[in-house]
Structure formats: C-alpha cells, structure tokens
Structure 1
Amino acid sequence: MANKQAYARKLIYAVMAVLLSISSATAQGGMDSLKSGFENPPENARPRVWWHWMNGNITKEGIKLDLTWMHKIGLGGFQTFDAALSTPQVVKKRLIYMTPEWKDAFKYATTLANQYGLEEAIAGSPGWSETGGPWVQPSQGMKKYVWSKTYVEGGEPFTGRLAHPPSNTGAFQNIGIQDALSSRREGKAIPQFYADSVVVAYRRPATDIPLQSLHPTITSSGGTLDAAMLTDGDLEKTVGVPIPPVG
C-alpha cells in the first residue's frame, strides 16, 4: 500500500511538473510574441504621418530622402498635404500645385512609396481650402444652413413676404468671413450662393414670448446698452463695454 501511495505521489508530481513547464512555455511564448509584435508591428499597426509639401519647395531628391527615412524608421505610411502659408522659397525652382512639374514629382513620390510598401493618403484639398478651390462652383461647394423668423396670426390666410435669411458667405448666419488668412483674398471676389430650402410653420407655445415685447432694460458698469441689439438677429453688429475704473 505504501509503495502504491508513493508511486501515486510521484505520478502527481510528474503531472504537475509537466503542466507547470507547459504553462511556463506558453507564457514565455506569449511574452516573446508580444515583444516581437511591438518591435516589428504589422503594417496595419504602424503609425502614419502628415507629409507637408510647403509652398512648392519640392525636389525629387528631397522626396527620396523623406520617403527613405520614413521606410527606415518603420512608418506605415503618410498623408500628402500641399500647403503654403508664408513659407519662403528654399529650392531653386518652386513646383506650383498641379503644374506638369508638380504632377511628375507627385507621381515619383507615389511610385517610390509603393516600392517601399508605404500607404499613401492624399488630403482633400490644396492649402487650407477645406476641400475646395477656384475650380469648385459655389453651388457645389460646402454650405451652411441659415434661417429667419416671421410671426403671423394663426387661423387665417397669410399673404406677404417672409423675412429673408442671411445670404452672405461666412461661418454662421450673417457673420462674414473671419479668417486669419483672409487678407490673402484682397482683390478677389468672395464666392456667393443662396437657395431656398424649406418653410416650416408651427404653432408657437403660449410661453414663447418675444424678448423685445417685454421691453427689457440693460444696465452695466460701462454705461447704457441698446437692448434691441440682443434680438435683432444681427451677429455682426457689436458694441464695446468700457472697463470702469478700479474702485
């Protein structure tokens, strides 16, 4: 009986040792796989970068140096972004966007990137024009929704002209273009487009009381303000409130 018990204990120890060695090997294999995947990640896990072509300062020599470096350090790809701003000319001949020379350089970059296995993406527009350009008609460009309100008496026919919504080009309602780069537009006409979309009529809640009908009075430490400016819908017209003296 004692021999059988000793044999059973040895068998259990042997099984435990085998299981322990298998578990250890599995854990070690998992760590090795994690380490290997981190040191040499698959293509879909490699980082991508923005690649700015600034103000035509482009040469094939520079393209090759950049892409070779990207490939060498293990990047997965890039997004080509043609921009300008106030970048000075640093090459002998600038390659203007979409000229034959620029297209040839871009084709060279695409071919070389493919040879290196780099994924290439292309920004939706040149410069900072937000997917637009002089070749895009205003009717096909990005737009904003604008609106106006007209109050009428319910329960009877209405004949008249609805208040016209703002029709100027800008970010919101009647706010004009307020762009840090707008000075570059001097001498160039700003695209204009307006089209009616929909008219929505609904019953006003009894609690919906126009602010101007309450005849509010606004006071401030900087003087009297015109309350009508808060309700006239004109977001371009502003007023300055002076800072009162201390004390």
Structure 2
Amino acid sequence: MTRMLFTVCRRDCASILVAGILAIHFLAGTGCSRRQEDIGTLRDGFIEPPVEARPRALWDWVDGNFDLEEITQEMEEAARMGMGGFDIWDVCSVVDEDSIVPAGPAFMSDPSVEAICHAINEAERLGLDLGLIIASGWNAGGAWTLPEHQTMGLFHTDTLVRGPGPVELGLEFPVLPDRTGTGRQSEAIIPRGTDGLPIFYKEVALVAHRLEMKDTSMVITGEMVDLSDFRNPSGLLAWDVPPGSWKVTRYVCTPTGQPLFSHTPNSRGPMIDHFS
C-alpha cells in the first residue's frame, strides 16, 4: 500500500514538472515574440517616424520678406527630406547695416496674411505641421497693441509744501522717458493726446510725507498722509497742510513705451504688458 501511494505521488509530481516546463517554454516563446515585435516597431519608427517625431525648423522670414513660389518649393523639399514642419518667424536681419536686405511688408498686413495662409494650405497638402510666432521679433505685441495693454511702469513726481495753512495747487505729471534703452530701436512709443499727456494712465496714489526741518530730503518715519481724496474736480490738490514741511508724491501708472525687439523694418510696435 505504501509503495502504491509513493508510485502515484511520483507520477503526479512528474506530470506537474512536465506541465511546468511546457508552460515556461510557452511563456518564453511568447516573450521573445513580443520583443521581436517591439524591436520591429521601433525600427519602423526610425525608418518612417510619425510627423510629431520628425525634426522641425524655425523658419525666418527675414525683414518680412517672402515669395509664394519659394514657400511652396521649400516646404516640398522639407517634406521630401522627412522634416515634420516649420515655425514661421517674422524677424529682422541681425547684421545688415548697409540695408542690403530689402524691407518686406509689415507683419500681419494683407500681403503677410496672404503668405501665411498660403503656407498653411501647403502644410496641409504636404502633411507638415506649421506654427506661427505671433509677433514680429522677440516679444509679444505689435502696432495693434492698445495703450492700456502696453508695458506699464510706475512713475512719480514730488512737490514740496509747507504748513500750517490751506493750499490749492496743481501737481505736475511725471516726466516719462523718451527712450527705453540705448539701442537704435529703443525710442519710446507712448500714444499721447493733444494735451501732451498719455492717452492712457491711471492715478495710483497721492501721499504726503512730513520732512525733517533741517533736511528736506529726510522723511520722518510714520508721518504719512493719504491725499487721494483731497483732489477737487479740477484735479487740484486742496489740502489744509499741517505744520511743517511736506513732500507730496503723485504716483501714476502709464505705458513705458517699450517697443518690440528685433522687429522687421515695417513692423515696429509697442510690447504688451504680461501682467495686465
């Protein structure tokens, strides 16, 4: 009886062992097959990569120049060479002091839009991706940027008054810079009205600080008065000045006039304010 049980157990173990070996061989074969498929897919991806995996190019339209036939020719050649697409960039020539490169149409003018639409249609025909940098040069903005959307700055002007006694006086508008830098493209773009003031500006604050009697450049800590509600309808400051010397400071937010950098010759315009 014992021998019979041992024989049965041995046969069962042998069957289990054989089944295990067969299962291992099957799984190993399946794994190898999958690896071969993965390698094949990877190889095919290198030979014929999808559009999103192909290289793209930054396509400079230097000084706003383009030609519709040339656009088609370059895009067809790019597709033939296996490129994925372009990003159109309207940008000035970096070094062209003798103005060898002619000035093309302004960015987003009718001819510019026509050329961009032509490139879009050709990209669709050729299966290419096409992007567009939405400003001329490095920064966002353009001639269409409204004054209230331009880069903003905080400017101030100071007026000294002495008390005690009432005063009614006009406060000068802060002097705004004519240039935003030292480069040849740094002349400020600040739209102004007939009165010479910016078309758009905001009154931010009007405050007075009490000054040291011996040194009117020194402010006494804690001695500050908010005068924002002390301007009459004519814009004059009407204030009963306390004893002592006071520095009245008017703070105004207005466009800085910062133009675009590296814009094409006919595409000059103000830069947008990214915090507006």
Q: TM-score, normalised by structure 1?
A: 0.56
For CA contacts below 8 A with separation 6 or more, give which structure has more relative contact order: 2
Q: What SS does the corresponding residue of 1:146 show, helix, strand or coil?
A: strand
Q: What SS does the corresponding residue of 2:130 show, helix, strand or coil?
A: strand
Structure 2 alignment gaps of length 5 or more: 1-6, 161-165, 192-197, 208-216, 220-276
Contact 1:76 1:118 in 2 (8 A): yes
Question: Among the aligned pairs, what percent are the same residue?
Answer: 21
Cα 1:60–1:163 change in 2 (3 A) is closer
- Counterpart in 1 of 2:100? 88
Contact 1:132 1:141 in 2 (8 A): no
- Counterpart in 2 of 1:62? 70
* Structure 2 residue identity aligned to 1:121: G
- Counterpart in 1 of 2:180? 177
Alignment of 1:112-151 (within 5 A): 112-127=122-137, 130-133=140-143, 135-137=144-146, 139-148=147-156
Structure 1 alignment gaps of length 5 or more: 153-157, 170-175, 202-211, 215-247
- Counterpart in 1 of 2:257? none
TM-superposed deviation, 1:195: 1.1
TM-superposed deviation, 1:121: 2.3
- Counterpart in 2 of 1:199? 205
Give the number of equivalent residue pairs.
186
- Counterpart in 2 of 1:168? 177
Cα 1:3–1:142 change in 2 (3 A) is same
CA distance in 1, matches of 2:20, 2:139: 74
Which structure is higher in helix share? 1
| Bigger radius of gyration | 2
Alignment of 1:1-247 (within 5 A): 1=7, 2-85=10-93, 86=96, 88-89=100-101, 95-97=104-106, 102-127=112-137, 130-133=140-143, 135-137=144-146, 139-148=147-156, 167-168=176-177, 176-178=179-181, 180-182=183-185, 190-192=189-191, 193=198, 195-199=201-205, 213=218
Q: Which runs of 4+ in 1 moved over 6 A?
A: 158-163
* Structure 2 residue identity aligned to 1:191: I
Q: Considering only aligned residues, what root-mean-square deviation do their CA atoms show, in Å?
A: 4.1
Cα 1:46–1:140 change in 2 (3 A) is farther
CA distance in 1, matches of 2:32, 2:206: 71
